[in-house]
Amino acid sequence: MTDSVSSGSKARHNTLAKTLASEFETLGCAVKHEFSEVTLDVPGGSLLEVASRLRDDEAFQFEVLVDVCGVDYSAYGNSEWVTNEASSSGFGRGVESGGDGHRGEGERFGVVYHLLSISLNQRLRVRVRVDEAQPIVASVTTVWKSAEWFEREAFDLYGILFDGHEDLRRILTDYGFVGHPFRKDFPLQGNVEMRYDAEKGRVVYEPVSIEPRTLVPRVIREDNRYLEESQQRQDPADA
């Protein structure tokens, strides 16, 4: 995509990355510019200040909060199929689910905000990391009203709490659901299943009877093409 529209947007995002770096680096924020998208990593304490400045400052004008999404980094970089021992143990493809026990770096949870500026036609991703012991992030509902349901969703699926949210209830899961299903330690097939019990005359919950299985193992390839590319991507000329 090398025509005027996308090159115009590339130039805009270059300036955006520079402005962000000069404005927010004193607050401990880090700016990343990859895949022609700008990411701003914000420490939890200054989220509200950064958010309201991103909305109101002339240089940013991010009027729309497009999306809020929770992330559980605890299994980041976890590969289920490390093939180092394949020659000694034969070519068995059986995989124990759970992977190599690799734990992602940094705090366990992240909240990712996607912002859009309609006036300046630019996008920004803002990320906050929180630890497992106290997964509390300031709610941005006062800055963007649309955060209300998105934060409820992140709470429901990951158990991340949003300080200042007026109505932090579950939203997607069933009434009376236990656990936070999108956490990496929550099994894909769930913990309980339900059926109608004719004798009792009501619906009963039982431990799940489906066996977990891996159809395609999770593989991470050390690909030289991408190693070179990622060095290029962080080229100062691009950022």
Partner 1 sequence: MPEIRNYTLNFGPQHPAAHGVLRLVLEMDGEVIERADPHIGLLHRATEKLAESKPFNHSIPYMDRLDYVSMMCNEHGYVMAIEKLLGVEVPERALYIRTMFDEITRILNHLMWIGTHALDVGAMTMFLYAFREREDLMDCYEAVSGARMHAAYYRVGGVYRDLPDEMPKHENNKFRNDAEIAQKNENRQGSLLDFIEDFTDRFPRMVDEYETLLTDNRIWKQRTVGIGVVSPERAMQLGFSGPMLRGSGIAWDLRKKQPYAAYRNMDFDIPVGHNGDCYDRYLVRVEEMRQSNRIISQCVEWLKRNPGPVILSDHKIAPPHRTGMKEDMEELIHHFKLFTEGYCPPPGEVYAAVEAPKGEFGIYILSDGANKPYRLKIRAPGFAHLAAMNEMVKGHMLADVVAVIGTMDIVFGEIDR
State the Cα–Cα distance between residues 116 and 120, nearest whole angstrom.
9
Q: In the complex with partner 1, which residue's Cβ is closer, 203 or 215?
A: 215
In angstroms, give the least distance from the CB of 222 to partner 1.
8
Segment near partner 1 (CB under 8 A); pick from 57-65, 84-92, 129-137, 191-199: 57-65
| Cα–Cα distances in angstroms (integers) from residue 47 to residues 106, 152, 210, 223, in the given order | 18, 18, 42, 36
Contacts of 84 (CB under 8 A, 6+ apart): none
Annotate each residue in 211-230 with x if it binds partner 1 (CB under 8 A) or - if it does not, as one string. Answer: ----xx-xxxx-x--x--xx
What's the rounded Cα separation, in Å, for the pair 178 and 172?
A: 12
Q: Select from 24, 60, 162, 182 the one that contacts partner 1 (CB under 8 A).
A: 182
Q: Please report the DSSP string for 75-118 in residue order.
A: GTT--S--GGGTTTSTT-----TTTT----SS-SEEEEEEEEET
Q: Is 128 in the site for partner 1 (CB under 8 A)?
A: no
Closest CA to 222 of 232, 214, 230: 230
Options 146, 179, 208, 239; binder of partner 1; rule CB under 8 A: 146
Q: Identify which of residues 118 and 210 has a Cβ nearer to partner 1 in the complex.
A: 118
Nearest CB to partner 1, comparing residues 205 and 226: 226
**Other Cβ atoms within 10 Å of 173 Cβ, number:** 15
Chain residues 68-127 in contact with partner 1, contact rule CB under 8 A: 69, 71-72, 75-79, 112, 114, 118, 121, 123, 125
Residue 222, judged by CB atoms within 10 A of its CB (0-12, 13-18, 19+), counts as exposed
Interface ranges with partner 1 (CB under 8 A): 1, 3, 5, 9, 34-35, 37, 39, 63-67, 69, 71-72, 75-79, 112, 114, 118, 121, 123, 125, 144-146, 148-150, 170-174, 181-182, 188, 215-216, 218-221, 223, 226, 229-230
